[in-house]
Structure 1
Amino acid sequence: MHLEALRAYCLSLAAVTEDVKWDHDLCFSIGGKMFCVASMEPPFSFSFKVDAEDFQALSAMPGLSPAPYLARYHWVLANEGHTLSSQEIEHRVRESYELIKSKLPKKVLKEAGLL
């Protein structure tokens, strides 16, 4: 999956916003909280949050590693050469979206039209 496909998928999810942070990372958020971050410069890489049970196993897969600065929150970095299929990437990004969404206050969910 390349940046435009990842971007299209992230933006297809309800109430998602995007912005550029740190000059070269495209960040996708729900309720102001990031759920996926992608590099806009080569080599293409992206990060997403996973649940605690999956973190160790995913981090040990080829092309995947704990995300710098975010690993303590169970974020995984996918580099070039990762072995995730497009369907698996969509599943993991959706899971990240749902994990972040589940922690948002009801007021934020209501303002975003998600309640």
Structure 2
Amino acid sequence: MSPEALEKAALALPGATLSIQWGDDRVYKVGGKMFAATDGAGRSLSFKATDIAFEALTESGRAIPAPYLARAKWVKFDDVSALDDAEVADWLKTAHSLVAGKLTRAARKELGLA
């Protein structure tokens, strides 16, 4: 997946925003909470995963536990360009829904997620 396609897929999700943080990292958020991030060049991708996906992706060696966020079940891929577009879009959608699901009912309603 190209960095441009990744950005387009992430920002197509309801209420998703982009923030540049920690230098030039691109952080995708919903309701002010992170659900995915890339380095400035868009080469690596980190995102929140389900417990099962975290185990499957890290145990198979496809991804590594994301530095600083592994305890929250985040995974990291070092080369986004080697990943399938549909698979990445699905992971982003899941990450978005996991994070959005933890927002307050009022916040979800404000974002059009209720």
TM over 0.5: yes
Greater mean deviation of Cα atoms: 56-65 or 16-25: 56-65
The verdict on how the C-alpha distance between 1:34 and 1:59 changes in structure 2, with shifts beyond 3 A counting, is: same
Matched residue, 1:113: 112
How much does 1:25 deviate? 0.7
TM-score by length of 2: 0.90
TM-score by length of 1: 0.90
Measured in 2, the distance between the counterparts of 1:58 and 1:45 equals 15
Equivalent residue letter for 2:55: Q
Cα deviation code 1:19-57 (max 9, x no counterpart):
101012101110000111011137x10111111122121
Residues 45 and 80 of structure 2 are in contact (CA less than 8 Å); yes or no, is this contact kept in structure 1?
no
Measured in 2, the distance between the counterparts of 1:83 and 1:62 equals 14
Greater relative CO, 1 or 2 (CA 8 Å, sep 6+): 2
Alignment root-mean-square deviation, CA? 1.8
Unaligned runs of 5+ in 1: none
Unaligned runs of 5+ in 2: none
Matched residue, 2:98: 99
Residue correspondence of structure 1 range 1-115 to structure 2 within 5 A: 1-41=1-41, 44-80=43-79, 84-115=83-114
